[in-house]
Amino acid sequence: MDYELKSARFLARDVLSRAVRPGDTVVDATMGNGHDTLFLCEAVGPAGRVYAFDVQPEAVESTRVRLRENGVEDRAVLVCDGHQRMDAHVSGKIRAAVFNLGWLPGGDHTVTTLWETTREAVEKALSLLLPMGVLVICAYPGHDEGNRELRELIRFLSALSNREYNVLHQRFLNASSGAPECFVVQKMG
Ligand SMILES: C[S@@+](CC[C@H](N)C(=O)[O-])C[C@H]1O[C@@H](n2cnc3c(N)ncnc32)[C@H](O)[C@@H]1O
């Protein structure tokens, strides 16, 4: 089969599927409709724990239904709170955290992630990461807040110490506007 370069979302899933092991504790910082939460519940297995966050009760409910339908609801702690407060909810260190920024697909576009709280949450996720753990972020430019969030994220992640973290940024240089971009941060061992 021909090798194909794939999108930001593909890289995010690929990294998570390689980094997360059965029994791990992980964070889904933006639950939305629960696609990533389900993926993580399957990756951590029955002995693992997924802490998932969203500020919208309908996102939490839609995720709860998805997990129940797939028989993995008991692996997740679904929190209706901002990801910037993750340290108040997560116990222990985490192997991975995923952020899929922006707004809920099919939902209210005025409820979108904002750089100030995203930054706080990213800092907290980094402090919770195990050595060799990964932080995966998909950012969506193409609207005002998305553009600002992407610009500030690049500035923030570029300034992380290269003795403590490796930081990867994947983007297609000739993509149409609004195409997602992926960041992977790995804490050194
Ligand atoms: C692009 S969606 C996530 C999609 C999700 N990963 C999925 O698989 O369906 C972004 C989500 O972030 C949520 N959000 C916005 N601000 C937040 C915050 N401060 N903390 C947690 N979630 C937030 C929105 O409500 C929205 O549901």
**Ligand 1 pocket, residue 119 CB under 6 Å:** no
- Residue closest via CA to ligand 1's atom 23 equals 54
- Residue closest via CA to ligand 1's atom 20 equals 82
Which domains occur in the chain, in start order? 8-187 (3.40.50.150)
User: Among 90, 174, 162, which residue's Cα sits nearest to residue 129?
Assistant: 90
Out of 113, 143, 145, give the residue to mutate to test ligand 1, the one with the largest number of ligand atoms within 8 Å of its CB: 113
- Residue closest via CA to ligand 1's atom 15 equals 113
Task: Give the number of other CB atoms < 10 A from CB of residue 159.
Answer: 8
**Ligand 1 pocket, residue 27 CB under 6 Å:** no
Task: Please check whether residue 75 is in contact with residue 69, taking contact to mean a CB–CB distance below 8 angstroms.
Answer: no
Chain segment 102-138, per-residue pLDDT in tens:
998 877 788 899 999 999 999 999 999 999 999 999 9
Mean pLDDT of the chain: 96
Chain segment 145-164, per-residue pLDDT in tens:
999 999 999 999 999 999 99
Over 135-185, what HEC string results?
Answer: EEEEECCCCHHHHHHHHHHHHHHHCCCCCCEEEEEECCCCCCCCCCEEEEE
Q: Amino acid identity, residue 66? A: R
Chain segment 86-100, per-residue pLDDT in tens:
999 999 999 999 999
Is 0.95 topped by the overall pTM? yes
Which stretches of the chain are assigned E, i.e. beta strand?
Answer: 25-28, 49-54, 76-80, 94-100, 129-139, 165-170, 181-187
Atom of ligand 1 minimally distant from the CA of 35: 8
